[in-house]
Amino acid sequence: MAGRDLPNTSTDELRAAALRPVVGAGRRFWILFAALGLVAAAGAVAYAWQLIAGGLSVTGYNDQVFWGSYEATLVAFIGFSYGGALVSAILRLTNASWRGPITRIAEVSALATLLVGALFPIIHLGHPERVWELFVRPNFQSPIFWDMVAILTYMLATLILLVLPLVPDTAALREEPRLGRLHRVLYRVLSLGWTGTPRQRQILNRAMTTVAILIVPLAVVVHTVLSYTFSLTSRPGWHSTIFGPYFVIGAVYSGVAVVILAAIIYRRAYHLQRWIDDRTIRNLAFVMLALGVAYGYATFSELTTEGFVGKQAEVELLYGLLLERFAPLFWAFIGMGLLAPVALIAIPRTRTPRGIALAAGLVIVAMYLKRLLIVVPPLTRPVIGGDAGSYLPSPVEIAIVSGAAAGVVLIMLFLFRFIPVLAIDEMGEIEHERAGAGREGAASVRPALKPGVSTDG
């Protein structure tokens, strides 16, 4: 029943395209899968070593700088997740007609980054075996407890946001002859007996709208609470009222970059240019551009607010960031994370899928760097005397963080081996609405199920 009232050829082509990652894993896929698996396994071994060899002593942490790459990775990955969920939810709520091809990628990237990111509070614990005490002996005054509550709640909502739209898609594919038995059984379970009656569609739409509405404030709460881990401490550089919105904007910015990069990679690898067309990528790039400018302003605002009052600690920290010790990293962030991506998207000549992919890649790297710059410099400045601290991530940390990044990609690859990469039913429904609007004399629109324009071959 997917793609109702559509020409059969279009629906069949869409189904075939959506199933390409499921049925068409070639040699290159397995090589990539194995390579990422090795990196992830190296990360797992490094974590095992951390547990065996005396906990966090194998990291670059010390008395002064007691947080580092693990906290930065937590903030970065939850941020990536936030962008994916928000793109999907907001585009759905606003009924944006170009959302169809990218909502599934956005939802899967949101879940994958969240699953891996949520591990980092545990990896960061010296005694992870005590994590259960968060549940049985909660400290309601601790931001860490509320972090856990917020992340778990958001994880549930993200899972529902991914699973609900899968109901009609799996129903459409449960008898697909190209699929194996495992897939068909899985699809039969996930489809919940969907036959596509108007009543079922009404129920599903209502549930999806409710989750989409819920996930927006939830995601804001998650990232604001995450910022509390820093801003509720009396430490120069962290204790700032702007941190909540600053974290939220940064999260969406980097999350949209992840969605763009994943969409471009998938469309190229599986020849989905006809469905994930240039217009979709460009629209997402414009969203990223707007968020980049907003994040740039928020950065300026944060630094100015701290520095203007002229308290010694803040000013020292700012000089360290802008001119001294951390200046190379800070200006690298400004160049890679703000100026270059904004320029690449703003200039029409570079606003190609390749240019946009480069911009998204730069944003992802630079935003990770920014998270490190949020965590580390304030800790290097002693609060109660003593020498300035220093921090260099240890090989164990680098292996764990690299393994986590590989893990995110692995989860995405794995999930897309089981679920269609395109939201078949949703794209059909958008096309159906368009056709209806066209029949009623509305302005001519480009059908979503007709070939789109692509310039990257």
Between 85 and 366, name the residue whose CB sits nearer to other proteins.
85
Q: Of the two residues 125 and 214, which places its CB atom closer to other proteins in the complex?
A: 214
266, 417 Cβ separation under 8 angstroms: no
Which span sits near other proteins by CB under 8 A: 49-57, 81-89, 210-218, 279-287? 210-218
Residue 309: CB minimum distance to other proteins, A = 6
Q: Does 348 bind other proteins (CB under 8 A)?
A: no
Q: Which 8-state DSSP code applies to residue 270?
A: T
Q: Kindly state whether residue 146 participates in binding other proteins, applying the rule CB under 8 A.
A: yes
Nearer to other proteins, 46 or 151 (CB): 151
Q: Measured from the CB atom, is 136 or 384 closer to other proteins?
A: 384
Q: Which of 25, 242, 269, 315 contacts other proteins by CB under 8 A?
A: 315
SS3 68: coil
Q: Give the total residue count for the chain.
A: 457
User: How wide is the angle at C-alpha 368 spanned by C-alphas 365 and 373, nearest 5°?
Assistant: 125
Separation between Cα atoms, residue 201 and residue 203, nearest integer Å: 5
26 touches other proteins (CB under 8 A): no
Cα gap 39→46, rounded to integer Å: 11
Residue with tokens 């008898």: 175
Return d(Cα 224, Cα 395) in angstroms, integer: 31
207 touching other proteins, by CB under 8 A:
yes
Pick from 218, 219, 272, 419 the residue near other proteins by CB under 8 A. Answer: 218
Structure tokens at 53: 């060899």
Q: Does 1 bind other proteins (CB under 8 A)?
A: no
Residues of this chain, 370-399, that bind other proteins according to CB under 8 A: 383-385
Residues 284-313 that bind other proteins (CB under 8 A): 304, 307-313
**Residue number, 138 or 296, with CB nearest to other proteins:** 138
Please select the residue that binds other proteins; options are 177, 193, 328, 348, rule is CB under 8 A: 193
Q: Which is nearer to other proteins, 385 or 441 (CB)?
A: 385
Cβ distance to other proteins smaller for residue 206 or 446? 206
Is residue 210 close enough to count as binding other proteins by CB under 8 A?
Answer: yes
End-to-end CA separation in angstroms for the chain: 32
Nearest 5 degrees, angle CA 448-CA 452-CA 417?
Answer: 75
- Cα distances from 292 to residues 110, 251, 340, 345, 436, in angstroms, run 19, 11, 10, 10, 37
**310 torsion bin: left (phi>0), alpha (psi -120 to 50), beta (else):** left
**In contact, 69 and 392? CB cutoff 8 Å:** no
Size of the site for other proteins (CB under 8 A): 40
Instruction: Work out whether 416 is an interface residue with other proteins (CB under 8 A).
Output: no
What is the C-alpha to C-alpha distance for residues 145 and 163, in angstroms, rounded to an integer? Answer: 27
Query: What's the token pair of residue 138?
Result: 């909660």
Report the residue number, 96 or 163, with the smaller CB distance to other proteins: 163
Q: Report the residue from 198, 348, 441, 457 that binds other proteins according to the rule CB under 8 A.
A: 198
C-beta of 161 vs 356, nearer to other proteins: 161
Nearest CA-CA partner of 96 in 287, 240, 294: 287
For residue 304, what are the contacts with CB-CB under 8 A and spacing of at least 6?
Answer: none
Does residue 213 touch other proteins according to CB under 8 A?
no
Residue ranges in contact with other proteins by CB under 8 A: 140-141, 146, 149-150, 153, 156-157, 160, 163-164, 167, 192-195, 197-200, 203-204, 207, 210-211, 214, 218, 304, 307-313, 315, 318, 383-385
